[in-house]
Structure 1
Protein backbone atom coordinates (compact mmCIF):
# COMPACT_ATOMS: atom_id res chain seq x y z
CA UNK A 1 0.00 0.00 0.00
CA UNK A 2 1.24 3.48 -0.85
CA UNK A 3 2.30 5.74 2.02
CA UNK A 4 1.54 9.46 2.43
CA UNK A 5 3.10 11.74 5.06
CA UNK A 6 0.88 14.64 6.14
CA UNK A 7 1.73 17.90 7.86
CA UNK A 8 0.44 21.47 8.08
CA UNK A 9 1.11 24.84 9.70
CA UNK A 10 -2.23 25.27 11.53
CA UNK A 11 -1.34 22.70 14.19
CA UNK A 12 -1.99 19.01 14.82
CA UNK A 13 -5.59 19.61 15.94
CA UNK A 14 -6.62 21.76 12.96
CA UNK A 15 -9.91 20.95 11.21
CA UNK A 16 -8.23 21.23 7.82
CA UNK A 17 -5.77 18.48 8.73
CA UNK A 18 -8.64 16.26 9.90
CA UNK A 19 -10.38 16.82 6.56
CA UNK A 20 -7.17 15.88 4.76
CA UNK A 21 -6.87 12.65 6.73
CA UNK A 22 -10.50 11.76 5.91
CA UNK A 23 -9.91 12.37 2.21
CA UNK A 24 -6.75 10.26 1.95
CA UNK A 25 -7.29 7.34 4.32
CA UNK A 26 -9.21 5.30 1.71
CA UNK A 27 -6.32 5.42 -0.78
CA UNK A 28 -3.08 5.13 1.23
CA UNK A 29 -1.41 4.47 4.55
CA UNK A 30 -1.26 7.78 6.42
CA UNK A 31 1.36 9.10 8.82
CA UNK A 32 0.82 12.55 10.35
CA UNK A 33 3.56 14.75 11.80
CA UNK A 34 2.34 18.28 12.52
CA UNK A 35 3.29 21.24 14.72
CA UNK A 36 1.98 21.20 18.29
CA UNK A 37 0.56 24.70 17.80
CA UNK A 38 -0.30 27.11 15.02
CA UNK A 39 2.76 28.09 12.99
CA UNK A 40 1.12 30.09 10.21
CA UNK A 41 3.40 32.36 8.16
CA UNK A 42 6.57 30.90 9.66
CA UNK A 43 8.05 30.32 6.21
CA UNK A 44 10.72 27.71 5.55
CA UNK A 45 12.18 27.95 9.05
CA UNK A 46 14.24 25.20 10.66
CA UNK A 47 14.73 25.20 14.45
CA UNK A 48 18.43 25.18 15.35
CA UNK A 49 18.56 26.92 18.75
CA UNK A 50 16.78 24.30 20.92
CA UNK A 51 15.95 20.59 20.96
CA UNK A 52 12.60 19.39 19.65
CA UNK A 53 10.37 16.62 20.98
CA UNK A 54 8.36 14.26 18.78
CA UNK A 55 5.23 13.37 20.79
CA UNK A 56 2.93 10.51 19.84
CA UNK A 57 -0.74 11.54 19.65
CA UNK A 58 -2.14 8.30 18.23
CA UNK A 59 -1.12 5.47 15.94
CA UNK A 60 0.98 6.98 13.11
CA UNK A 61 0.11 10.46 14.41
CA UNK A 62 2.72 12.75 16.00
CA UNK A 63 3.17 16.38 16.95
CA UNK A 64 6.45 18.26 17.20
CA UNK A 65 6.58 20.38 20.33
CA UNK A 66 6.99 24.04 19.26
CA UNK A 67 8.31 22.86 15.89
CA UNK A 68 7.78 24.40 12.47
CA UNK A 69 6.32 22.54 9.47
CA UNK A 70 9.87 22.26 8.11
CA UNK A 71 10.97 20.67 11.40
CA UNK A 72 8.09 18.19 11.13
CA UNK A 73 9.13 17.00 7.68
CA UNK A 74 12.86 17.00 8.43
CA UNK A 75 12.50 15.05 11.68
CA UNK A 76 9.96 12.55 10.37
CA UNK A 77 11.77 11.72 7.14
CA UNK A 78 15.02 11.16 9.01
CA UNK A 79 13.62 9.28 12.02
CA UNK A 80 10.23 7.70 11.33
CA UNK A 81 11.32 6.62 7.85
CA UNK A 82 14.63 4.74 7.94
CA UNK A 83 16.94 2.49 5.92
CA UNK A 84 16.31 4.35 2.69
CA UNK A 85 12.53 4.01 2.91
CA UNK A 86 10.57 7.19 2.23
CA UNK A 87 6.88 7.97 1.86
CA UNK A 88 5.54 8.05 -1.69
CA UNK A 89 4.11 11.52 -1.23
CA UNK A 90 4.03 14.42 1.25
CA UNK A 91 0.90 16.58 1.47
CA UNK A 92 0.71 19.73 3.59
CA UNK A 93 -2.63 21.25 4.56
CA UNK A 94 -5.50 21.71 4.26
CA UNK A 95 -4.48 25.24 5.21
CA UNK A 96 -7.13 27.65 6.48
CA UNK A 97 -6.71 30.58 4.11
CA UNK A 98 -5.12 31.20 0.72
CA UNK A 99 -1.46 30.70 -0.18
CA UNK A 100 -1.13 32.50 -3.49
CA UNK A 101 1.33 34.87 -5.13
CA UNK A 102 4.24 35.97 -2.96
CA UNK A 103 2.41 34.72 0.13
CA UNK A 104 3.92 31.34 -0.80
CA UNK A 105 7.22 32.60 0.63
CA UNK A 106 5.59 33.28 4.02
CA UNK A 107 3.62 30.06 4.10
CA UNK A 108 4.43 27.29 6.56
CA UNK A 109 2.09 25.09 4.52
CA UNK A 110 4.21 25.59 1.41
CA UNK A 111 7.38 25.23 3.51
CA UNK A 112 6.52 21.65 4.46
CA UNK A 113 6.22 20.82 0.75
CA UNK A 114 9.50 22.64 0.08
CA UNK A 115 11.30 20.55 2.67
CA UNK A 116 9.83 17.35 1.27
CA UNK A 117 11.09 17.99 -2.26
CA UNK A 118 14.49 19.01 -0.88
CA UNK A 119 14.55 15.55 0.72
CA UNK A 120 13.60 13.90 -2.56
CA UNK A 121 9.91 13.23 -1.90
CA UNK A 122 7.12 14.53 -4.21
CA UNK A 123 4.90 17.05 -2.45
CA UNK A 124 1.69 19.06 -2.58
CA UNK A 125 0.66 22.09 -0.53
CA UNK A 126 -3.11 22.61 -0.41
CA UNK A 127 -4.98 25.63 0.94
CA UNK A 128 -8.65 26.50 1.36
CA UNK A 129 -9.37 30.09 0.36
CA UNK A 130 -11.76 31.79 2.80
CA UNK A 131 -14.47 34.38 2.66
CA UNK A 132 -15.37 36.84 5.42
CA UNK A 133 -12.05 36.49 7.31
CA UNK A 134 -12.49 32.71 7.46
CA UNK A 135 -15.73 32.87 9.44
CA UNK A 136 -17.12 30.41 6.87
CA UNK A 137 -14.52 27.87 8.07
CA UNK A 138 -15.30 28.53 11.73
CA UNK A 139 -19.00 27.99 11.05
CA UNK A 140 -18.66 24.41 9.85
CA UNK A 141 -17.18 24.45 6.34
CA UNK A 142 -17.04 20.85 5.10
CA UNK A 143 -13.96 21.10 2.79
CA UNK A 144 -15.86 19.01 0.23
CA UNK A 145 -14.19 20.48 -2.86
CA UNK A 146 -10.74 20.41 -1.21
CA UNK A 147 -11.17 16.78 -0.15
CA UNK A 148 -12.40 15.75 -3.59
CA UNK A 149 -9.52 17.57 -5.30
CA UNK A 150 -6.70 16.27 -3.10
CA UNK A 151 -7.97 12.68 -3.29
CA UNK A 152 -8.01 12.90 -7.09
CA UNK A 153 -4.53 14.42 -7.30
CA UNK A 154 -3.00 12.01 -4.78
CA UNK A 155 -4.49 8.98 -6.51
CA UNK A 156 -3.19 10.15 -9.88
CA UNK A 157 0.31 10.63 -8.45
CA UNK A 158 0.35 7.33 -6.59
CA UNK A 159 -1.10 5.35 -9.53
CA UNK A 160 0.85 7.08 -12.28
CA UNK A 161 3.61 9.62 -11.62
CA UNK A 162 4.46 13.04 -10.21
CA UNK A 163 4.49 15.62 -13.03
CA UNK A 164 7.45 17.71 -11.83
CA UNK A 165 11.21 17.34 -11.65
CA UNK A 166 13.16 17.37 -8.39
CA UNK A 167 12.93 20.38 -6.04
CA UNK A 168 9.53 21.38 -7.41
CA UNK A 169 6.09 20.97 -5.80
CA UNK A 170 2.43 21.60 -6.55
CA UNK A 171 0.72 24.50 -4.80
CA UNK A 172 -3.06 24.00 -4.77
CA UNK A 173 -5.65 26.60 -3.78
CA UNK A 174 -9.36 25.79 -3.44
CA UNK A 175 -12.08 28.42 -3.96
CA UNK A 176 -14.63 28.86 -1.17
CA UNK A 177 -17.45 27.19 -3.05
CA UNK A 178 -19.26 23.85 -3.16
CA UNK A 179 -18.06 21.17 -5.63
CA UNK A 180 -21.05 21.69 -7.92
CA UNK A 181 -20.14 25.39 -8.28
CA UNK A 182 -16.56 24.67 -9.41
CA UNK A 183 -15.71 25.36 -13.06
CA UNK A 184 -12.80 22.92 -13.08
CA UNK A 185 -9.05 23.02 -12.50
CA UNK A 186 -6.61 25.55 -13.94
CA UNK A 187 -2.84 25.23 -14.05
CA UNK A 188 -1.69 28.71 -13.12
CA UNK A 189 1.28 30.90 -12.38
CA UNK A 190 1.80 32.60 -9.03
CA UNK A 191 0.18 36.02 -9.08
CA UNK A 192 1.52 39.46 -8.19
CA UNK A 193 0.28 40.08 -4.64
CA UNK A 194 -0.26 43.66 -3.50
CA UNK A 195 0.35 44.38 0.18
CA UNK A 196 -0.95 47.00 2.57
CA UNK A 197 0.20 47.98 6.06
CA UNK A 198 -2.20 46.29 8.44
CA UNK A 199 -0.11 46.86 11.57
CA UNK A 200 -1.79 47.87 14.83
CA UNK A 201 0.07 49.67 17.59
CA UNK A 202 -1.05 49.08 21.18
CA UNK A 203 0.16 49.55 24.75
CA UNK A 204 0.07 46.99 27.52
CA UNK A 205 -1.02 47.89 31.10
CA UNK A 206 2.57 48.93 31.90
CA UNK A 207 2.57 51.42 29.06
CA UNK A 208 4.94 49.38 26.93
CA UNK A 209 4.35 49.60 23.20
CA UNK A 210 3.71 46.53 21.06
CA UNK A 211 2.55 45.81 17.52
CA UNK A 212 0.07 43.31 16.11
CA UNK A 213 0.30 42.41 12.42
CA UNK A 214 -3.13 41.88 10.89
CA UNK A 215 -4.47 40.19 7.76
CA UNK A 216 -3.97 41.98 4.46
CA UNK A 217 -6.92 41.96 2.06
CA UNK A 218 -6.53 39.56 -0.87
CA UNK A 219 -5.57 42.11 -3.56
CA UNK A 220 -3.47 41.39 -6.62
CA UNK A 221 -2.24 42.93 -9.87
CA UNK A 222 -4.03 41.57 -12.90
CA UNK A 223 -1.88 39.51 -15.27
CA UNK A 224 -1.89 40.04 -19.03
CA UNK A 225 -2.98 36.49 -19.79
CA UNK A 226 -5.47 36.33 -16.90
CA UNK A 227 -3.91 33.07 -15.77
CA UNK A 228 -2.58 33.62 -12.26
CA UNK A 229 -3.74 31.81 -9.13
CA UNK A 230 -5.77 34.75 -7.83
CA UNK A 231 -7.72 35.07 -11.08
CA UNK A 232 -8.45 31.34 -11.24
CA UNK A 233 -9.88 31.39 -7.71
CA UNK A 234 -11.97 34.47 -8.50
CA UNK A 235 -13.44 32.62 -11.50
CA UNK A 236 -14.35 29.61 -9.30
CA UNK A 237 -11.57 27.32 -10.52
CA UNK A 238 -9.23 25.22 -8.42
CA UNK A 239 -5.73 26.65 -8.93
CA UNK A 240 -2.70 24.38 -9.26
CA UNK A 241 0.64 26.17 -9.54
CA UNK A 242 3.93 24.33 -10.15
CA UNK A 243 6.51 25.88 -7.80
CA UNK A 244 10.29 25.57 -7.99
CA UNK A 245 12.74 26.31 -5.21
CA UNK A 246 15.41 27.80 -7.48
CA UNK A 247 14.89 31.56 -6.96
CA UNK A 248 17.55 32.62 -9.46
CA UNK A 249 16.43 35.36 -11.85
CA UNK A 250 18.10 33.85 -14.92
CA UNK A 251 16.98 36.67 -17.21
CA UNK A 252 18.95 39.11 -15.06
CA UNK A 253 22.30 37.30 -14.85
CA UNK A 254 23.78 39.01 -17.92
CA UNK A 255 22.19 42.34 -16.99
CA UNK A 256 23.70 42.17 -13.49
CA UNK A 257 27.10 41.19 -14.88
CA UNK A 258 27.04 44.18 -17.25
CA UNK A 259 26.00 46.45 -14.37
CA UNK A 260 28.94 45.22 -12.30
CA UNK A 261 31.44 45.66 -15.13
CA UNK A 262 30.44 49.23 -15.99
Structure 2
Protein backbone atom coordinates (compact mmCIF):
# COMPACT_ATOMS: atom_id res chain seq x y z
CA UNK A 1 0.00 0.00 0.00
CA UNK A 2 1.39 3.41 -0.98
CA UNK A 3 2.21 5.92 1.72
CA UNK A 4 0.30 9.21 1.81
CA UNK A 5 1.78 12.67 1.13
CA UNK A 6 -0.12 15.94 1.61
CA UNK A 7 1.07 18.67 -0.77
CA UNK A 8 0.54 22.36 -0.21
CA UNK A 9 2.07 25.69 -1.25
CA UNK A 10 1.68 29.46 -1.03
CA UNK A 11 1.76 30.25 -4.76
CA UNK A 12 -1.77 28.98 -5.45
CA UNK A 13 -3.37 25.74 -6.61
CA UNK A 14 -2.40 26.34 -10.25
CA UNK A 15 1.29 27.13 -9.61
CA UNK A 16 3.81 25.44 -11.89
CA UNK A 17 5.95 24.51 -8.89
CA UNK A 18 3.08 22.53 -7.37
CA UNK A 19 2.51 20.77 -10.68
CA UNK A 20 6.19 19.81 -10.75
CA UNK A 21 5.87 18.43 -7.22
CA UNK A 22 2.92 16.28 -8.29
CA UNK A 23 4.90 14.93 -11.25
CA UNK A 24 7.85 14.04 -9.03
CA UNK A 25 5.91 12.33 -6.25
CA UNK A 26 2.90 10.64 -7.85
CA UNK A 27 4.95 7.51 -8.70
CA UNK A 28 5.94 6.92 -5.09
CA UNK A 29 2.94 7.90 -2.95
CA UNK A 30 -0.75 8.66 -2.80
CA UNK A 31 -1.13 12.44 -3.02
CA UNK A 32 -3.64 14.83 -1.52
CA UNK A 33 -3.33 18.50 -2.53
CA UNK A 34 -4.57 21.40 -0.40
CA UNK A 35 -3.53 24.79 -1.77
CA UNK A 36 -4.78 28.39 -1.65
CA UNK A 37 -7.04 29.80 -4.35
CA UNK A 38 -4.59 32.64 -4.99
CA UNK A 39 -1.00 33.60 -4.26
CA UNK A 40 -0.31 33.92 -0.53
CA UNK A 41 3.44 34.51 -0.65
CA UNK A 42 5.11 36.08 2.41
CA UNK A 43 2.02 35.55 4.56
CA UNK A 44 4.03 33.46 7.00
CA UNK A 45 2.19 31.51 9.69
CA UNK A 46 -0.98 33.59 9.39
CA UNK A 47 -4.50 32.73 10.57
CA UNK A 48 -7.86 33.83 9.16
CA UNK A 49 -9.55 35.62 12.05
CA UNK A 50 -11.80 38.24 10.42
CA UNK A 51 -14.08 35.99 8.35
CA UNK A 52 -15.58 32.50 8.63
CA UNK A 53 -14.06 29.43 7.02
CA UNK A 54 -15.99 26.61 5.40
CA UNK A 55 -14.73 23.12 6.21
CA UNK A 56 -15.25 19.99 4.13
CA UNK A 57 -14.95 16.68 5.96
CA UNK A 58 -12.47 14.12 4.68
CA UNK A 59 -12.25 10.44 5.52
CA UNK A 60 -11.95 9.73 9.23
CA UNK A 61 -8.68 7.88 8.74
CA UNK A 62 -7.10 10.69 6.75
CA UNK A 63 -3.62 11.40 8.03
CA UNK A 64 -0.58 11.96 5.82
CA UNK A 65 2.73 10.26 6.42
CA UNK A 66 4.52 13.34 5.11
CA UNK A 67 3.70 16.96 4.24
CA UNK A 68 5.62 18.76 1.48
CA UNK A 69 5.17 22.48 0.86
CA UNK A 70 6.28 23.98 -2.48
CA UNK A 71 7.87 24.02 -4.93
CA UNK A 72 8.10 27.74 -4.18
CA UNK A 73 9.11 30.09 -6.97
CA UNK A 74 12.02 31.93 -5.38
CA UNK A 75 14.39 31.33 -2.48
CA UNK A 76 13.44 30.85 1.16
CA UNK A 77 16.73 31.26 3.02
CA UNK A 78 17.98 33.10 6.08
CA UNK A 79 15.43 35.30 7.82
CA UNK A 80 13.11 34.99 4.81
CA UNK A 81 12.06 31.66 6.35
CA UNK A 82 10.09 33.60 8.97
CA UNK A 83 8.04 35.38 6.30
CA UNK A 84 7.57 32.40 4.02
CA UNK A 85 4.16 30.88 3.44
CA UNK A 86 5.95 27.85 2.02
CA UNK A 87 7.89 27.32 5.25
CA UNK A 88 4.74 27.99 7.27
CA UNK A 89 2.94 25.12 5.56
CA UNK A 90 5.69 22.78 6.71
CA UNK A 91 5.70 24.34 10.18
CA UNK A 92 2.01 23.63 10.65
CA UNK A 93 2.61 20.00 9.74
CA UNK A 94 5.26 19.46 12.41
CA UNK A 95 3.02 21.17 14.97
CA UNK A 96 0.55 18.37 14.19
CA UNK A 97 3.24 15.72 14.55
CA UNK A 98 3.70 15.03 10.82
CA UNK A 99 7.19 15.06 9.21
CA UNK A 100 7.52 17.86 6.68
CA UNK A 101 9.67 19.49 4.02
CA UNK A 102 9.56 23.02 2.59
CA UNK A 103 11.16 23.20 -0.86
CA UNK A 104 11.97 26.31 -2.90
CA UNK A 105 13.46 26.92 -6.33
CA UNK A 106 15.99 29.75 -6.32
CA UNK A 107 15.84 31.92 -9.46
CA UNK A 108 18.68 33.65 -11.30
CA UNK A 109 16.63 36.64 -12.41
CA UNK A 110 13.88 36.35 -9.82
CA UNK A 111 11.07 34.61 -11.72
CA UNK A 112 12.11 35.34 -15.30
CA UNK A 113 13.92 32.04 -15.88
CA UNK A 114 10.94 30.10 -14.48
CA UNK A 115 8.58 31.75 -16.95
CA UNK A 116 10.90 30.72 -19.79
CA UNK A 117 10.06 27.05 -19.34
CA UNK A 118 12.11 25.89 -16.35
CA UNK A 119 11.57 22.15 -15.92
CA UNK A 120 12.39 21.82 -12.17
CA UNK A 121 14.48 18.74 -12.99
CA UNK A 122 16.89 19.11 -10.06
CA UNK A 123 14.10 20.02 -7.64
CA UNK A 124 12.02 16.99 -8.71
CA UNK A 125 15.01 14.67 -8.45
CA UNK A 126 15.86 15.99 -4.98
CA UNK A 127 12.37 15.88 -3.51
CA UNK A 128 11.73 12.36 -4.80
CA UNK A 129 14.94 11.19 -3.10
CA UNK A 130 14.14 12.89 0.20
CA UNK A 131 10.49 11.78 0.24
CA UNK A 132 11.44 8.16 -0.46
CA UNK A 133 13.87 8.12 2.47
CA UNK A 134 11.30 9.64 4.83
CA UNK A 135 8.51 7.30 3.74
CA UNK A 136 10.83 4.42 4.58
CA UNK A 137 10.70 5.65 8.19
CA UNK A 138 13.93 7.60 8.02
CA UNK A 139 12.87 11.11 9.03
CA UNK A 140 16.08 12.41 10.64
CA UNK A 141 14.71 15.10 12.97
CA UNK A 142 12.93 15.26 16.34
CA UNK A 143 9.44 16.64 16.91
CA UNK A 144 8.67 20.22 15.83
CA UNK A 145 11.54 20.28 13.37
CA UNK A 146 11.40 20.40 9.57
CA UNK A 147 13.66 20.32 6.52
CA UNK A 148 14.01 23.55 4.55
CA UNK A 149 15.31 22.77 1.05
CA UNK A 150 16.53 25.31 -1.52
CA UNK A 151 17.41 24.30 -5.08
CA UNK A 152 20.04 26.24 -7.08
CA UNK A 153 18.98 27.56 -10.53
CA UNK A 154 20.94 24.95 -12.46
CA UNK A 155 20.46 21.65 -14.29
CA UNK A 156 21.07 18.34 -12.45
CA UNK A 157 24.39 17.70 -14.19
CA UNK A 158 25.68 21.09 -12.95
CA UNK A 159 24.89 20.35 -9.29
CA UNK A 160 27.83 19.79 -6.93
CA UNK A 161 25.72 17.73 -4.53
CA UNK A 162 23.80 18.36 -1.31
CA UNK A 163 25.02 20.47 1.61
CA UNK A 164 23.51 20.47 5.09
CA UNK A 165 23.50 24.13 6.03
CA UNK A 166 22.58 26.68 8.65
CA UNK A 167 20.24 29.57 7.91
CA UNK A 168 22.30 32.57 6.82
CA UNK A 169 21.99 36.21 7.83
CA UNK A 170 20.06 38.05 5.14
CA UNK A 171 20.76 41.72 4.48
CA UNK A 172 17.72 43.71 3.43
CA UNK A 173 17.63 46.85 1.33
CA UNK A 174 14.91 49.43 0.78
CA UNK A 175 13.25 48.62 -2.52
CA UNK A 176 9.83 50.18 -1.90
CA UNK A 177 8.37 52.15 -4.79
CA UNK A 178 6.01 55.10 -4.42
CA UNK A 179 3.24 55.51 -7.03
CA UNK A 180 0.06 57.48 -7.58
CA UNK A 181 -3.24 55.88 -8.58
CA UNK A 182 -5.55 57.54 -11.18
CA UNK A 183 -7.16 59.59 -8.38
CA UNK A 184 -3.85 61.01 -7.25
CA UNK A 185 -3.67 58.93 -4.08
CA UNK A 186 -0.25 57.58 -3.24
CA UNK A 187 0.51 53.92 -2.62
CA UNK A 188 3.65 51.89 -2.14
CA UNK A 189 4.76 48.65 -3.77
CA UNK A 190 7.47 46.45 -2.28
CA UNK A 191 10.02 45.59 -4.95
CA UNK A 192 12.31 42.60 -5.49
CA UNK A 193 15.21 42.57 -3.05
CA UNK A 194 18.44 40.96 -4.28
CA UNK A 195 19.83 38.00 -2.33
CA UNK A 196 22.53 39.66 -0.22
CA UNK A 197 23.86 38.04 2.95
CA UNK A 198 26.60 38.18 5.56
CA UNK A 199 29.32 35.69 4.71
CA UNK A 200 30.01 33.02 7.32
CA UNK A 201 33.59 32.12 8.23
CA UNK A 202 33.17 28.47 7.25
CA UNK A 203 30.93 29.03 4.21
CA UNK A 204 28.26 26.86 5.82
CA UNK A 205 25.05 28.85 5.32
CA UNK A 206 22.25 28.26 2.85
CA UNK A 207 23.06 31.29 0.68
CA UNK A 208 26.66 30.16 0.21
CA UNK A 209 25.68 26.60 -0.65
CA UNK A 210 23.35 27.83 -3.39
CA UNK A 211 26.02 30.18 -4.74
CA UNK A 212 28.40 27.20 -4.99
CA UNK A 213 25.78 25.15 -6.94
CA UNK A 214 24.80 22.85 -4.07
CA UNK A 215 21.30 21.91 -2.97
CA UNK A 216 20.87 23.39 0.51
CA UNK A 217 19.06 21.46 3.25
CA UNK A 218 18.64 23.29 6.55
CA UNK A 219 17.13 21.71 9.67
CA UNK A 220 14.65 24.18 11.17
CA UNK A 221 13.18 24.07 14.67
CA UNK A 222 10.19 26.02 15.96
CA UNK A 223 11.64 26.60 19.44
CA UNK A 224 12.89 30.21 19.24
CA UNK A 225 14.33 30.29 22.75
CA UNK A 226 17.88 31.64 23.00
CA UNK A 227 19.00 29.11 25.61
CA UNK A 228 22.55 30.44 25.97
CA UNK A 229 21.12 33.79 27.08
CA UNK A 230 18.86 32.51 29.88
CA UNK A 231 21.53 32.78 32.60
CA UNK A 232 22.71 36.12 31.23
CA UNK A 233 19.17 37.47 31.37
CA UNK A 234 18.58 36.13 34.88
CA UNK A 235 21.74 37.85 36.10
CA UNK A 236 20.76 41.07 34.35
CA UNK A 237 17.22 41.18 35.75
CA UNK A 238 18.39 40.45 39.30
CA UNK A 239 21.04 43.15 39.47
Q: Which residue of 2 aligns with 1:21?
A: 22
Asked if 1:184 corresponds to 2:161, the answer is yes
- Alignment equivalent of 1:240, drawn from 198, 214, 217: 217
Q: Which residue of 1 aligns with 2:58?
A: 80
Asked if 1:231 corresponds to 2:208, the answer is yes
- Provide runs of 4+ in structure 1 moved above 6 Å: none
Asked if 1:194 corresponds to 2:195, the answer is no
For residue 52 of structure 1, report the CA deviation from its aligned partner. 2.5
Q: Distance in 2 between matches of 1:119 and 1:197?
A: 37
Asked if 1:213 corresponds to 2:214, the answer is no
Q: Distance in 2 between matches of 1:204 and 1:229?
A: 39
Asked if 1:92 corresponds to 2:69, the answer is yes
For residue 168 of structure 1, report the CA deviation from its aligned partner. 0.3
Q: Distance in 2 between matches of 1:81 and 1:232?
A: 42
1:99-114 equivalence runs, <5 A? 99-114=76-91
1:60-75 equivalence runs, <5 A? none
- State the SS of the aligned residue for 1:34: coil
For residue 133 of structure 1, report the CA deviation from its aligned partner. 2.0
For residue 135 of structure 1, report the CA deviation from its aligned partner. 0.5
Question: TM-score, normalising length from structure 2?
Answer: 0.97
Q: Distance in 2 between matches of 1:107 and 1:82?
A: 30
For residue 81 of structure 1, report the CA deviation from its aligned partner. 5.5
For residue 11 of structure 1, report the CA deviation from its aligned partner. 0.3
Asked if 1:45 corresponds to 2:46, the answer is yes
- State the SS of the aligned residue for 2:103: strand
Q: Distance in 2 between matches of 1:159 and 1:47?
A: 35
Asked if 1:119 corresponds to 2:96, the answer is yes
Q: Which runs of 5+ in 2 are unaligned?
A: none
Q: Which runs of 5+ in 1 are unaligned?
A: 55-74
Give aligned pairs, total. 238
Asked if 1:159 corresponds to 2:102, the answer is no
For residue 129 of structure 1, report the CA deviation from its aligned partner. 0.2
Q: Which residue of 2 aligns with 1:70?
A: none
Question: TM-score, normalising length from structure 1?
Answer: 0.88
> Cα RMSD over matched residues?
1.2
Q: Which residue of 1 aligns with 2:8?
A: 7
